[in-house]
Structure 1
Amino acid sequence: MRAVIVIKCLTIFLISNHVQGARILGLFPYTGKSHHMVFEPLLRKLAEKGHQVTVASFFPLKNPPANYVDISFEGVADVRLDNFDLDLYENLGVINYVPKIRNILMMLGEFKDLSAIGVNLCSKLINLPSLNEALKKEYDVVLMENFNSDCMFGLLHVYRNKAPIIGLSSCNLMPWSAERLGASDNPSYVPVAGTRFTTTMTFLQRMENTFWRIFTKLAFRYSVQNEEQALIEKKFGRQIPDFANMGRNISMMFVNTYHALHGVTPLVPGLVEVGGMHLNETKQDIPPVSFIKKSHSINKLSTLASIIALFNFGLAD
C-alpha cells in the first residue's frame, strides 16, 4: 500500500513539473503609445515565463525575449504620442465662455477623431501581409485591445480563429464594452468614458450621461462597426456576422481601473480590474517628503489624497 501511495505521489509530482507554454497572439491596432505602455509589461512577462507570444502593434520591443515575435505596424500610420495642439482649447471664440457647449463640442470632436482613426487603420491593416499570415496560425488565446475599433474581430472570424479572446482596456470601459460581458452600465451611476462625471451625479448630470451613452453606442455602431464590416466583406468577398454581436465573443476583459480612483461600479466575473499592472515595483512612484514640503502651491489635503491614491494604485498589481 505504501509503495502504491509513493508511486502516485511521484507521478503527481512529475506531472506538476511539466509545463507547456501557451501560444498567445496579441492584437493592438491603436496608435497611442500611452495605451501600449499598459499592455507591454504583461506581454513581456508572458514571454519571460515561457509562453510563445506574437504581438501585432505599432510599438515593437527593442530588446524582446527569445520567444517574443513582433509584427510591426510601423509605417502604416503615424503614432500618437499624447501631444496635442492647445489651439483646440483656446481658439473656440465665444464658445470658450460657455463651458457646457464647449465640453459637448470637445466630446463630439474627440469621438469623431477616434472613429476616423479606427476605420482608417482597419482599411490599411486588412491588407498587411504580415498580419494576415500571423492570423492564419493557431493560438491558444488571443489578447486584444478593446477601444475604438472592432476590425480585429472581423479578421479573427475570417481566419476561423477558435481561441478564446481576452480583451484589454488601458482606460475606463468604452460605452460599448460593458454589455459584451454582461456588466451593468446604468447611466444613473456609471459615467460614460470621456465625460467629467463621477459615480455620484445630480439628476441633470444623469440625463446628460444617458444622452452620451445612447449617442456613443449608436455612433460607434454606424460610423465604426458598419464601416469596418463593409471593408472586410469587400476585401475577402464574403459576408461575416454582424459586428454588433461579434464583440460578445470576448471571454474576459482586463481593465486598467481601480475602485479607489475610479469609483465603485458593479463587476462580473469576466471583468477584472488590473489598475497599476504596468507600474514598475522597483521605482519609487511616491514623491519624497522633502519634495512635498517645498511644493507650497499644492494644497495639503490634496497632496495627502494623492499620496494615498498612488499607494493604493500600486497595490493593485
Structure 2
Amino acid sequence: MKYFSIFIISCFLTNLSCAYKILGVFPVGAKSHYIIGQSLMKGLAEKGHEVTVISPYKESSPIANYRTVQVVDVFESIEAVNAKLLEMKDYGVVDGLTGFYDFGANLTRSTLSDKRVQDFMKTKQHFDLVICEVFLTDAMLGFGQLFNAPVVAVSSFSASIFTNDLVGNPSPLSYVPHPFSGFSTEMSLGQRIANILLTSVERGFYYNYFYPKQDTLFKEHFRESRSSLDEIRKNVSLILLNTHFSLAFPRPYVPNMIEIGGIQVNKKPKDLPKNIKDFIESADHGVIYFSLGSNMKSKSLPDETRAALIETFKNLKQKVLWKWEDPNLPGKPDNVLISDWFPQDDILAHPNVKLFITHGGLLSTTESIYHGKPLIGSTIDSFGNRHFLGGICNQAQRRRTPKEFRSRVEFYKVS
C-alpha cells in the first residue's frame, strides 16, 4: 500500500523520470498523524524528489533531500486535548463538536503564527506540488495558492465532512453512518433519522462555527491570496484517505478520492532493539502487546483501572509489553516490560506476539490486521475510530472478509 500511494502521487506529477519540489503540510502534534505524513513524504524523498515538510516532528535520521520546518507550539493544543480524552466519551454532541473545532482553530493559529512558518512563507520559493493534511485546518490549503501549486489533501482517517465537501463526494445517509453515531450500514428507520439529525447538527456547526474561524485565519495569514478560502477548498486535485475498503463499511467515492490505508506498514520488518527482542523470544507462552496509542496515556488511567491491569497481567503465563510513559510503574510484575515507546509495527510482525490490546486507533488496527494479530480493543477516544472499528466488527461477524482475515483475527469491541 505504501508504494501504491507513492505511485499515485508520482503519476500525478506526470513524469516519473524527473525530480520535483514538494511541500508537505502535516501540522498536527499527534504522532499517528505524523506517521501517515512521514510515510508518504519519505517515500517521495526516497524516489528522488526534493521534499520540505511543515511538522512538529523532526526526522531522527535526516535524508539529504528531506527538510523539516519544525513547529513546536502545536504540542500545547494536542496536550490539552489528550488530558481530556477519558472525559470525552461522556461529552454530548454539542460539547464534543465545540471542543473539536476549537482545537482545530488553535492548531491552525499556532502553526501559521509560528515564526519559522512565517519566515518560510516569505521565501516565495517554487513548489510543484503541495500535499496538505486536512484535519480541522482548512486555512492551510492556502499554501497551494501561495506557492502556485496544485494541492493533494490527506486525511488521517476515513471520508468525512472535512474531505467530502472538497471534491463533492456523495455520502448517502441511508447507509453511510456518521462517525459519531456508532451505527452500521444496516440502520433501522429510527437510526437513519438519528443519522440525518446528527449529520445536520455537524454541518450546522461546521459551516457556522468552525468555518468562519478558519476563514478569518486564512484572510489573516494569506492576505495576498487571489481567491477566497471557499474557492481554494473547491480546487483540491486529489484526496488520500487513511482507510481501506476491506476494513470499513462500503461507501461511494469519486475518482479523485483514493484509499491508502496501511501506507505506514513495513512489509519488511526492521530488527527489534535487543532488549525487546530478547524479552519476546524468551517468552515460552508468547507475548501480549498493550498500548493506548500516541495520544492516550497509560499513566492517565484511573488508579483502580491501573491496579486491575497490573493484577491481571501478573497472573498471566504470557509476558506483556506495556507502553507506559513514566520510567517506573509501581507494582510492576516481573513478566511486564514497560517503555514510553515501542516499535509497534515491527513488534506486531513478530510471530511470538500473540495478542494486541489496543485503544482502537486506525494505525494500530490496520497494522494488527496486516500482521494477523488478534485484538482486544476499545473505542473511547477517537473521532474516526468508531466508524472504522465498527466496519471491522461488521465485516468479521457477517463473514464478508477474506478467509485469511477470518481465520487469523478476531475483534472484541470493549466499551
The TM-score with structure 2 as length reference comes to 0.58
Equivalent pairs counted in the alignment come to 276
- Distance (whole Å) between structure 1 residues aligned to residue 16 and residue 34 of structure 2: 32
Q: Residues 126 and 252 from structure 1, CA distance in 2 versus in 1: closer, same or farther, beyond 3 angstroms? A: same
TM superposition shift of 1:87: 5.3
Q: Are positions 1:308 and 2:405 aligned together?
A: yes
Letter in 2 for 1:73: V
Task: Tell me which residue corresponds to 2:268.
Answer: 282
| SS of structure 1 residue aligned to 2:161 | coil
Pick from 267, 270, 291 the counterpart of residue 354 of structure 2.
291
Alignment partner, residue 126 of structure 2: 138
**Equivalent residue for 1:119?**
105
Give 2:405's aligned amino acid: I
Query: Aligned equivalents of 1:18 and 1:189: distance in 2?
Result: 40
Whether the 8 Å CA contact 2:73–2:110 is kept in 1: the answer is no
Match of 2:136 in 1: 148
Aligned partner of 1:259 among 241, 245, 253: 245
2:354 aligned counterpart, secondary structure: helix
How far does residue 156 in structure 1 lie from its aligned partner after superposition?
A: 4.2
Say which SS state the counterpart of residue 53 (structure 1) adopts: strand
1:183 is matched with 169
Instruction: Give the secondary structure class of the aligned counterpart of 2:137.
Output: coil
Supply the AA of the counterpart residue of 2:354. F
Q: 1:184 to 1:121 in 2, by over 3 A?
A: same
Amino acid at match of 1:221: Y
Residue number in structure 2 paired with 1:93: none
For residues 407 and 262 of structure 2, what CA distance do their matches in structure 1 show?
A: 9
Post-superposition Cα deviations, 1:45-96, rounded to whole Å, max 9, x if no partner, equal 1111111000001122111211100011113442647855575168xxxxxx
- Measured in 2, the distance between the counterparts of 1:290 and 1:239 equals 53
Question: In the alignment, what sits opposite 2:217?
Answer: 231
Question: Which residue, out of 150, 161, 186, partners 1:164?
Answer: 150
Quote how far apart the aligned CAs of 1:214 are: 1.8
> Residue 18 and residue 39 in structure 1: after superposition, are their counterparts in 2 closer, same or farther (change >3 A)?
closer
Q: What whole-Å deviation, never above 9, does each CA across 1:196-239 have from its counterpart, x for those lacking one?
A: 12222111111111122222222122222211222343456678
Using the alignment, how far apart are the partners of 2:16 and 2:152 within structure 1? Answer: 25
- Structure 1 portions without partners, runs of 5+: 1-16, 91-101, 313-317
Structure 1 residues 172-251: aligned runs within 5 Å: 172-234=158-220, 241-251=227-237
Q: Take 1:308 and 1:165, find their aligned partners in 2: how far apart are those partners?
A: 36
How far has the Cα of 1:192 moved from its partner?
2.0
Report the Cα offset of residue 245 of structure 1.
3.9
From 39, 43, 48, the equivalent of 2:37 is 39
Aligned letter for 1:195? S
Aligned with 2:254 (options 254, 264, 268): 268
Deviation for aligned residue 1:262: 0.8
Task: Return the offset for 1:115.
Answer: 0.9
In the alignment, the residues of structure 2 paired with residue 171 and residue 29 of structure 1 have an alpha-carbon distance, to the nearest angstrom, of 15
For 2:171 and 2:177, the matched residues in 1 are separated by 8
- Seen in structure 2, the aligned counterparts of structure 1 residues 178 and 234 have a Cα distance that, compared at 3 Å, is closer
Residue 55 to residue 189, structure 1, CA distance change in 2 (3 Å): same
Question: 2:32 & 2:407 partners in 1: Cα distance?
Answer: 18
Cα 1:309–1:232 shift into 2, 3 Å: farther
CA distance in 2, matches of 1:261, 1:232: 35
Q: Which runs of 5+ in 2 are unaligned?
A: 1-14, 270-345, 356-372, 377-395, 410-415
Give the conservation status (yes or no) of the 8 Å contact 1:187–1:210: yes
1:126, 1:155 within 8 Å by CA — same for their partners in 2? Answer: no
Distance 1:236 1:168, change over 3 A: closer
Higher mean displacement: 73-82 or 245-254? 73-82
Pair 310,162 (structure 1): closer, same or farther in 2 beyond 3 Å: farther
Distance 1:238 1:50, change over 3 A: closer
Change in CA separation of 1:264 and 1:86 when aligned onto 2, cut-off 3 Å? closer
Which amino acid counterpart does residue 63 of structure 2 have in structure 1?
P
CA contact (8 A) 1:149 1:225 kept: no
Q: Closer, same or farther in 2 for the Cα pair 1:182/1:311, shift >3 Å? A: farther
Q: Give 1:288 shift.
A: 4.3
Cα distance per residue 1:89-136 (max 9 Å; x no partner): 68xxxxxxxxxxx5xx44433322221111122223333232234332
Counterpart CA distance in 1 for 2:407 and 2:229 is 38
Residue of structure 1 equivalent to 2:279? none
Distance 1:234 1:21 in 2: 33
Pairwise CA distance, 1:277? 0.9
CA distance in 2, matches of 1:20, 1:234: 36
Contact map agreement 2:140 2:218 (CA 8 A) in 1:
no
SS of the residue corresponding to residue 210 of structure 2 reads: helix
